[in-house]
């Protein structure tokens, strides 16, 4: 994985951003929306995993559905940086393009 490159977080990275014991995000800037991960559903390339930041629930949905995006990137030490949430629900493909555009703006 390329460092300093904005992308959607994996389902594992996204899940670590929600504290299930407290029932709230560990990181500010998440509303109670659902957020796309980069992780595809194993049984169908048409689906990808999301995390519901209202309760931490995970599920997979068709990539044409619309959810929010929050791009991440790793620094040279492997620490994850987080962009602001998109604030606008979008398809999985659009969420990936949203992160890619952030790289083009450097």
pLDDT tens-digit map of 37-91: 999 998 888 999 999 999 999 999 999 999 999 999 998 888 899 999 998 999 9
Q: In angstroms, rounded to a whole number, what is the distance separating the alpha carbons of residues 100 and 43?
A: 26
CB burial class (10 A; 0-12, 13-18, 19+) of residue 21?
Answer: exposed
Token pair 């995390």 in the structure block, residue: 51
pLDDT band at 4 (very low <50, low <70, confident <90, very high): confident
Q: Taking the chain, what is the end-to-end CA distance rounded to the nearest angstrom?
A: 18
Angle at 3 between CA 51 and CA 48, to 5 degrees: 25
């Amino acid at each position: 994985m390329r460092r300093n490159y904005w992308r959607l977080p994996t389902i594992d990275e996204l899940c670590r951003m929600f504290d299930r014991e407290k029932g709230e995000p560990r990181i500010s800037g998440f509303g109670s929306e659902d957020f796309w991960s980069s992780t595809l559903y194993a049984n169908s390339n048409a689906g990808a995993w999301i995390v519901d930041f209202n309760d931490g629930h995970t599920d997979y949905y068709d990539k044409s559905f619309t959810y929010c995006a929050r791009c991440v990137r790793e620094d040279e030490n492997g620490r994850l940086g987080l962009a602001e949430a998109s604030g606008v629900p979008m398809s999985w493909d659009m969420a990936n393009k949203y992160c890619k555009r952030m790289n083009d703006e450097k």
